[in-house]
């Protein structure tokens, strides 16, 4: 049922393959670093004096409003750089500190239609144990849905081809749980059916509700993509560094993958995640293989650092659907940079095969039910 612990991250899982931070055009004029002065003792002199007493932050890539929001969080001048991107119409940014603030990370969002930037979380070791305490939203889960939609079909109303539930516990632990798609489960409003058919009946929210009822875990939201979207994410972010534990010879396009280290294209990564016919455990092994891809992307993200998040989110946003806001997505994704890889586990919800309504199905086993209980706090125990 369980596998050894591996570092996993939502953004990494889908997108933290970015090689550089977001470099979008400035949307606000940059403030002058030098306050204006005058030789006469007039109100303008007083204004200049007040200006000189205001902390002057030097954050490259940060428009005025973003810079001011970060400065207000510190209450003093900040030195660092900003990477910016977009998620569901919201502007998102990650400011990484330098100099005395090296190691600090500030997460900032400007919701769609709003003028001001807002600090929503981060970690600030330079400010000490109290003021610098990590703020990332606590425990939570997000459901990743891979749709079986073919060209011309609606990904939100086609059977799910892959289901992975990501979680964090807010204290350094996390987990990734895959699901056998043929699990025979209650589907809210539609009796019983295969787990992946919930997407057809109720769309993404119906799939989320079905997973919630099955596991007792209430996801914060979902991220949905189809085959083309998955390929697009991987290709737009430069491919995925991956060490294949065995050689794959699949009938799927791109499915001839030799054992060992390589860089997968979007098509190759898709083939790896979809192949099941050549695997001894069929769909169960396929779900584990999907977890291996997510873990590889996670490692790539951790090596690149949190500054890649805005660009990665921008790319993922182009190829997916989601009900998560910019603040929710940024906080959840950034949380995985504070996870201890030794406190991360993976599991696959599965069980024995059987029949129901004339179909071959999977019946949930007791080990999977125990894993659900284990995962409710956002972490899957290793071992």
pLDDT (tens place) for every residue of the chain, 383 residues total: 333 222 223 333 343 322 222 222 333 333 333 333 333 344 444 334 434 455 789 999 999 999 999 999 999 999 999 999 999 999 999 999 999 999 999 999 999 999 899 999 999 999 999 999 999 999 999 999 999 888 888 999 999 988 999 999 999 999 999 999 999 999 999 999 999 999 999 999 999 999 999 999 999 999 999 888 888 888 998 888 899 999 999 999 999 999 999 899 999 988 998 888 888 888 778 778 877 887 777 677 777 789 999 999 999 999 999 999 999 999 999 998 998 878 889 999 999 999 999 999 999 999 999 999 999 999 998 64
Residue 258 lies in a domain: no
Q: In the listed set 86, 102, 127, which residue is the last one of a domain according to the structure? A: 127
Q: In the listed set 101, 127, 153, which residue is the last one of a domain according to the structure? A: 127
Cβ–Cβ < 8 Å for 176, 8: yes
- The whole domain housing 80 covers 58-127
Q: What does pTM read for this prediction?
A: 0.81
User: What CA–CA distances, in Å, run from 379 to 141, 162, 345, 350?
Assistant: 10, 21, 7, 19
Q: In the listed set 75, 103, 127, which residue is the last one of a domain according to the structure? A: 127
Q: What are phi and psi of 364, to 5 degrees?
A: -60, 135
- Do 223 and 146 belong to one domain? yes
Domain count, the chain: 2
Residue 289 lies in a domain: no
CA angle 229, 234, 240 (to 5 degrees): 155
| β-bridge partners, 322 | 223
Two tokens at 48?
């200049």
**In the block, residue with structure tokens 């970060």:** 70
CB-facing half-sphere around the CA of 344: CA atoms within 13 A:
24
- Do 215 and 364 belong to one domain? yes
Query: What is the C-alpha separation between 106 and 171, in angstroms, rounded?
Result: 18
- Do 112 and 229 belong to one domain? no
């Amino acid at each position: 049922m369980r596998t050894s612990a591996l570092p996993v991250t939502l953004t990494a899982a889908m997108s933290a393959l970015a090689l550089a931070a977001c470099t979008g055009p400035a949307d606000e004029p940059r403030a002058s670093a030098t306050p204006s002065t005058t030789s006469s003792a007039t109100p303008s002199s007083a204004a200049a004096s007040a200006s000189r007493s205001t902390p002057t932050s030097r954050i490259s890539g940060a428009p005025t409003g973003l810079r001011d929001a970060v400065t207000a969080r510190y209450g003093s001048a900040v030195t660092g750089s900003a990477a910016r991107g977009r998620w569901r119409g919201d502007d998102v940014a990650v400011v990484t500190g330098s100099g005395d603030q090296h190691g600090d990370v500030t997460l900032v969002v400007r919701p769609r239609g709003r003028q001001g930037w807002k600090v929503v979380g981060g970690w600030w070791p330079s400010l000490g144990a109290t003021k610098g305490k990590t703020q990332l939203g606590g425990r939570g889960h997000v459901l990743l849905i891979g749709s079986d939609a073919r060209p011309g079909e609606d990904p939100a109303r086609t059977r799910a081809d892959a289901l992975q539930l990501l979680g964090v516990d807010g204290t350094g632990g996390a987990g990734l749980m895959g699901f056998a798609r043929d699990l025979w489960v209650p589907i809210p409003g539609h009796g019983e059916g295969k787990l992946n058919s919930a997407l057809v009946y109720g769309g993404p929210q119906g799939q989320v509700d079905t997973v919630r009822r099955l596991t007792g875990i209430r996801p914060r939201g979902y991220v949905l993509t189809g085959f083309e979207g998955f390929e697009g994410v991987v290709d737009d972010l430069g491919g995925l560094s991956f060490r294949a534990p065995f050689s794959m010879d699949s009938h799927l396009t791109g499915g001839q993958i030799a054992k060992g280290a390589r860089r997968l294209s979007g098509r190759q990564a898709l083939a790896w995640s979809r192949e099941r016919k050549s695997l001894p455990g069929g769909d169960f092994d396929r779900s584990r293989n999907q977890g291996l891809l997510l873990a590889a992307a996670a490692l790539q993200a951790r090596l690149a650092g949190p500054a890649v998040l805005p660009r990665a989110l921008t790319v993922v946003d182009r190829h997916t659907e989601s009900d998560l806001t910019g603040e929710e997505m940024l906080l959840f994704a950034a949380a995985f940079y504070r996870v201890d890889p030794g406190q991360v586990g993976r599991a696959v919800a599965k069980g024995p095969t059987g029949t129901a309504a004339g179909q071959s199905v999977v019946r949930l086993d007791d080990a999977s039910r125990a894993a659900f209980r284990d995962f409710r706090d956002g972490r899957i125990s290793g071992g």
